[in-house]
Homo-oligomer: A and B are copies of this chain.
Amino acid sequence: MPRFKPPRPTAAELEILRVLWERGPSTVRDVHAALARERGTGYTTVLKLMQIMAAKGLVERDESARAHVYKARRAPGQTQRQLVHDLLDRAFGGSPSKLMMQALSGRKASASEITEMRQMLDKFEKGKDPLA
């Protein structure tokens, strides 16, 4: 079973994925326009990164048009889960409660966020993974 597992995206790659998740399939120009607004990233920098991401399997590339169209290969949730589980293992000894404690600390979480978290715990306790 040749299950191919894309590697963890780096910081700059994650930025690009965020644009792709938000905009859907996009050209390099699209992504660059979105990123250049906030950061001063150059066009060829974005191009190079997206080429690398295609090689890594983080994105798919449609080359049928002259301006290639890229799309994220994994949904946000999958990537987020990979990242948070990695951090959980590396820094929290696998303890979600410790992670949550630090995530909440020093920030004002909205009331609706807290409510949502409670509901999530309820579901989870009943053996229901709210996602999987």
Binding site for B on A (CB under 8 A): 11, 14, 77, 79-81, 83-85, 87-88, 90-92, 95-107, 109, 111, 113-114, 116-118, 120-121, 124-125, 129-132
Q: Are A105 and B130 in contact, with the CB atoms below 8 A?
A: yes
Copies of this chain assembled into the complex: 2
A116 to chain B: closest residue by CB: B97
- With a cutoff of 8 Å between Cβ atoms, the chain B residues found around residue A114 in the complex are 121, 124-125
The 4 A-B pairs of least Cβ separation, nearest first, read A81-B102, A105-B131, A97-B116, A80-B102
Q: Is the interface of A mostly helix, strand, loop or mixed?
A: helix
A109 to chain B: closest residue by CB: B96
A74 shortest CB reach to chain B, Å: 13
Q: Are A87 and B90 in contact, with the CB atoms below 8 A?
A: no
On whether A81 and B100 interact (CB within 8 A), knowing A114-B124, A118-B121, the answer reads no
Q: Are A117 and B100 in contact, with the CB atoms below 8 A?
A: yes
Q: Are A83 and B77 in contact, with the CB atoms below 8 A?
A: no
